[in-house]
Amino acid sequence: MNKNKDRRLTIRLDPQNGREKAILSYLDSLDKRKHKSVNGFVIDALEHYITFLSGGNEKLLEEIRQIFREEVRVPSAPQPTQTNEWNPQLSEEESKENEQNVLDVLDEMFG
């Protein structure tokens, strides 16, 4: 019997199965400075997945939203002033272009 009361769990991953092969590859390439062990990583992954499945992902989503707000925050730049006044004055070239555009549309409509 196990003296420290740890419960052992064995999983099998088939390197011939594409999905399981990808998992094996990822586990083999774990950054040991970031993750102390494969066992610890698997426990964290299972915990997050179970939390997600049980609908407890609202806290995670809020954390992601907060990070996004902080990272995307851009200092506000001065906005150009907009006037709501309509200026009907067109240059001679603009007037000719507009007239031609109107004639082209009328020609398309009425042949």
Query: DSSP letters of 62-79?
Result: HHHHHHHHHHH--PPPPP
pLDDT of residue 21: 92
Q: Report yes or no: 35 and 43 within 8 Å, Cβ to Cβ.
A: no
Structural domain boundaries of the chain? 18-72
pLDDT of residue 16: 94
Average pLDDT over residues 51-70: 74
Structure tokens that stand for 76 in this block? 């506000």
Question: At 99, which helix (H) or strand (E)?
Answer: helix 92-110
Average pLDDT over residues 101-111: 71
**Type of residue at 41:** F
Label residue 91 left, alpha or beta by phi (over 0 means left) and psi (-120 to 50 means alpha): beta
pLDDT in tens, 8-46: 888 899 999 999 999 899 888 888 888 788 888 888 888
List C-alpha distances in Å: 78 to 68, 74, 75, 84.
23, 12, 10, 18
- Mean of pLDDT over the chain: 78
Query: pTM for this one?
Result: 0.45
